[in-house]
Structure 1
């Protein structure tokens, strides 16, 4: 496997890039040991870098030729500050190219709903806590999936958990904003959402709104170019499964070789 990967990498005349890039991290083993995976939107692993810090992405971008860097149209990622810093230094016009995946925004807002529910449960009468506790997964349902018994249970939970209900409503409104096509109104609508979220008066939601205001450029880029980190997340799932099937790897280099062997689409012919 190692010889085959070396052969395939040697046939590459330059570092691999693409017009639409994705960057994400995957755990090499337990204990916060990570590898940064740079891939294209087709799920091909272009390069692997140690850790998940600034240098992990910066080193890759520095190795690209000027034409390759200029040809990058979008760089999809989560809101990892290290990746953002690296892109803003080494990618020209990065603010127009960085795209934040909607999955991570949804994950943030779902966490706001759940943490608000946990906090609010402590303030309601004891007799209402049991049903409120059982509502945990009901808040994950979208507005268009509230039917029958689910709708009844969620409406009952909304009565005893008003702050959680408001956070859920704002999460659903954000989902609707993201689902609409990008146009000249998109920025204004997101700014209105951010202002409304701050006015709700729930600290966790206000904090999330401030984060989204700071990263709004990446949200709008994702909508404008209709890109996401979905294929990168899918690739990472395959990599995690590869690690599980192999029952772990002795060291990081063996792990990286295995990933490139299976998902680098290298020309490894003799």
Structure 2
């Protein structure tokens, strides 16, 4: 599920299947956006839902847990959104830590902003040298980055009986680092661990939904916008919906 919008525009929640075909568009991105869709499905249709991939929007989670049987076994949180949250922890920690370091080191630390986006497997040559220098100046940021990379490695593992224990160990380690933003992220992941494990187990993500979202943005640009939201939704369903066009 995705909720594409621009700043100042109204939100529309797009519900799609695993192939990235739109099933329905609902107004806003609140509880009712998903709850209304699930309520309109027949019992057999609801029971046939095997997984529901989403970001960690509390409204979507609440709707699914009320209207989807055994939701905790089916909700899967998208890898990209978890990674985005941890990247934000690294960057915000960097911004905060920069205020505490000597002025002469602040300029080079500021230039390290994009270095922290590199994964451990992409640290080569000049990038590795610059990142190592930044790690010396920004130790808290370095620890957050290391935990982000460890989380990425955990997610890339094939799901097995050790997955839950390894994530629980990660959560405990993240809390022990002592960086407030990382501790807060660890609490969030502990609360949402079921959805992370489901995503690994069923190997699902919002990848096709993200692709559909990009197509919808392009459709909006080509049409130079839609004055009427209902026309916009009809256009999306016509171009990207799972419609039976046989006559």
| TM class by smaller structure | over 0.9
Pick one of 88, 106, 109 that aligns with 2:86: 109
- With structure 1 as the length reference, what TM-score do the two structures score? 0.88
Task: Give distance in 1, aligned partners of 2:134 and 2:53.
Answer: 37
Residue aligned with 2:242, SS: coil
Distance 2:184 2:222 in 1: 40
C-alpha distance in 2 between matches for 1:220 and 1:82: 20
Q: Between Structure 1 and Structure 2, how many residues are aligned?
A: 242
Whole-angstrom distance in 1 between the partners of 2:226 and 2:9: 15
The equivalent of 2:217 in structure 1 is 240
TM-aligned CA distance change 1:30 to 1:127, over 3 Å: closer
How far has the Cα of 1:32 moved from its partner? 4.7
Q: Aligned partners of 1:70, 1:41: CA distance in 2, in Å?
A: 16
Task: Report the 3-state secondary structure (helix = DSSP H, G, I; strand = E; otherwise coil) of the residue aligned with 1:184.
Answer: coil
- 1:261 deviates by 1.0
For 1:44 and 1:89, how far apart are their aligned partners in 2?
25
More strand by share: 1
Aligned pair in 2 of structure 1 residues 232, 205: CA closer, same or farther (>3 Å)? same
Gaps of 5+ in 1: 1-28
Partner residue of 1:230 out of 194, 202, 207? 207
Give the alignment's Cα RMSD to 1 decimal: 1.0
Secondary structure of residue in 2 paired with 1:242: helix
Cα distance between partner residues in 2 of 1:90 and 1:32: 28
Q: 1:94 aligns with which of 56, 61, 71?
A: 71
Distance in 1 (alpha carbons) for counterparts of 2:139 and 2:78: 29
Aligned to 1:4: none
Q: Distance in 2 between matches of 1:265 and 1:223?
A: 27
TM-superposed CA distance for 1:30, in Å, is 3.8
User: What is the TM-score normalised by the length of structure 2?
Assistant: 0.96
Structure 2 portions without partners, runs of 5+? 1-5
Q: Deviations over 1:55-106 (max 9, x none)?
A: 1101111111111111111000000001000000000000000000010000
Shift of 1:269: 5.2
Runs of 4+ in 1 over 3 A off after TM superposition: none
**Within 2, Cα distance between the matches of 1:112 and 1:241?**
31
Could you say if the C-alpha distance between residues 170 and 30 of structure 1 is closer, same or farther in structure 2, counting changes exceeding 3 Å?
A: closer
